């Protein structure tokens, strides 16, 4: 018991020193919310209030301050909840906007959204994967630009721009994405034939740089790019981007022709 009494006196002394610096409203709030505080803290707060011998006017003023603080707290809570609701609503709207499989969306819109999602992911992955090369070529004084570097960076630069414009339903977005898909499909065919009869070199260093790729990988890649090109070339998709048949054939035809000429110049 003496030990408990000593501990109580110690706490009261600590609280007394602390509460001398508190305002009247802060002390009254501790008393009003006694269930949230240590009983000794509440007892000390009451003792401190009594020692100040406040007038009725001072007590009312302190209570008014408490009411103002409570009102401010409620407004802040309401504001925070409103902001949280706005964030949730914005996230939900964004998800609904890009979600290609939600009910009630017509097929052309689903194709556009799904295509945008897939190729946005591919664009981000490629940029992340080739970031060091980007940094080297654009910051190192020893980096040399030639036609091979232009060809290397072409899809990395075109794809993000194509995805953005395609998503915003721009005609140029359809054209750029078609160029990328045509270029990728023809490049895949070229790589397929170049690696068709290739045998392992037996040199580990070369194999790590130029690993042997299974033909099925090229076939699946070709189906992916070719299939996507076929999808966005359907009339109901082209109508959204105001792409005529002539524009479609010229875009795809010129891309294929130029790519074949470039590949022939390398092989020949």
Q: In this predicted model, what pLDDT tens digit does every residue of 60-76 receive, in sequence order?
A: 888 888 888 888 888 88
Residues 225 and 139 in one domain: yes
| Helix 107-129, helix 131-139: angle, nearest 10 | 60
Helix, strand, coil shares of the chain, percent, nearest 5, are 80, 0, 20
Residue 27 within a domain? yes
Residue-range definition of the domain harbouring residue 242: 106-267
Residues 166 and 220 in one domain: yes
What is residue 212's predicted lDDT score, i.e. its pLDDT? 65
Query: Is the pLDDT reported for residue 254 higher than 50?
Result: yes
Residue 95 within a domain? no
pLDDT tens by residue, 221-247: 889 999 999 999 999 999 999 999 999
Scan for tokens 């007590």, then name that residue. 59
Q: Is the torsion defined by CA of 167, 173, 175, 179 positive or negative?
A: negative
Reading the block at residue 194, the tokens are 């170049």
Task: Report the range out of 188-192, 215-219, 223-227 with the highest average pLDDT.
Answer: 223-227
What is residue 153's predicted lDDT score, i.e. its pLDDT? 78
What is residue 170's predicted lDDT score, i.e. its pLDDT? 94
Domain boundary pick from 20, 54, 75 = 75
Residue 123 within a domain? yes
Q: Is the torsion defined by CA of 66, 71, 76, 78 positive or negative?
A: positive
Q: What is the mean pLDDT of residues 21-29?
A: 81
Scan for tokens 């600590």, then name that residue. 14
Residues 144 and 259 in one domain: yes
Contact between residue 41 and residue 16 where contact means Cβ atoms under 8 Å apart: no
Residue 91 within a domain? no
Averaged confidence pLDDT in the chain = 79
Residues 60 and 192 in one domain: no
Helix (H, G, I), strand (E, B) or coil at 57: helix
What is residue 161's predicted lDDT score, i.e. its pLDDT? 94
Query: Per-residue confidence at 201, pLDDT binned at 50, 70, 90?
Result: very low
Residue 35 parent element (H or E): none
Residues 120 and 6 in one domain: no
Residues 159 and 241 in one domain: yes
Q: What is the mean pLDDT of residues 112-127?
A: 90
Residues 233 and 136 in one domain: yes
Residue 55 within a domain? yes
Query: Is the pLDDT reported for residue 248 higher than 90?
Result: yes
- Rg, C-alpha atoms of the chain: 36
φ and ψ at residue 244, rounded to 5 degrees: -80, 165
Domain boundary pick from 75, 97, 115 = 75
Contact between residue 243 and residue 171 where contact means Cβ atoms under 8 Å apart: yes
Residue 86 within a domain? no
Residues 154 and 203 in one domain: yes
Instruction: Give the residue with greater pLDDT, 131 vs 257.
Output: 257
Distance of CA 175 to the CA centre of its chain: 26
The pTM of this model reads: 0.57
Residues 55 and 110 in one domain: no
Residues 60 and 127 in one domain: no
What is residue 87's predicted lDDT score, i.e. its pLDDT? 65
Domain boundary pick from 32, 54, 75 = 75
Instruction: Give the residue with greater pLDDT, 171 vs 104.
Output: 171
Scan for tokens 């006196």, then name that residue. 9
The number of domains in the chain is 2
CA–CA separation, 228 vs 204, rounded Å?
A: 36
What is residue 9's predicted lDDT score, i.e. its pLDDT? 62
Residues 148 and 238 in one domain: yes
Task: Report the range out of 52-61, 156-165, 209-218 with the highest average pLDDT.
Answer: 156-165
Residues 49 and 143 in one domain: no
CA–CA separation, 151 vs 262, rounded Å?
A: 10
Residue 37 within a domain? yes
């Amino acid at each position: 018991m003496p030990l408990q009494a000593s501990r109580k006196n110690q706490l009261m002394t600590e609280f007394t020193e602390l509460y001398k610096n508190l305002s009247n409203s802060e002390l009254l709030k501790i008393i009003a919310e006694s269930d949230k505080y240590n009983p000794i803290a509440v007892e000390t707060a009451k003792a401190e209030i009594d020692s100040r011998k406040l007038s009725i006017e001072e007590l009312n003023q302190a209570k008014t301050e408490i009411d103002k603080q409570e009102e401010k707290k409620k407004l802040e809570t309401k504001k925070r909840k409103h902001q949280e609701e706005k964030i949730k609503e914005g996230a939900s709207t964004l998800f609904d906007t890009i979600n290609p499989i939600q009910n009630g969306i017509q097929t052309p819109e689903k194709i556009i959204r799904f295509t945008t999602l897939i190729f946005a992911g591919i664009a981000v992955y490629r940029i992340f994967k080739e970031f060091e090369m980007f940094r080297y070529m654009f910051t190192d004084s020893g980096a040399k630009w030639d036609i091979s570097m232009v060809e290397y960076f072409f899809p990395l630069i075109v794809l993000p721009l194509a995805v953005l414009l395609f998503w915003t339903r721009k005609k140029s977005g359809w054209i750029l994405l078609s160029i990328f898909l045509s270029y990728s499909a023809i490049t895949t065919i070229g790589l397929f034939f170049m690696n068709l009869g290739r045998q392992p070199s037996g040199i580990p260093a070369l194999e790590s740089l130029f690993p042997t790729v299974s033909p099925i990988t090229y076939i699946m890649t070709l189906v992916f790019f070719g299939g996507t090109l076929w999808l966005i070339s359907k009339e109901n998709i082209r109508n959204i981007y105001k792409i005529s048949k002539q524009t479609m054939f010229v875009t795809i035809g010129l891309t294929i022709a130029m790519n074949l000429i470039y590949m022939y110049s390398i092989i020949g």
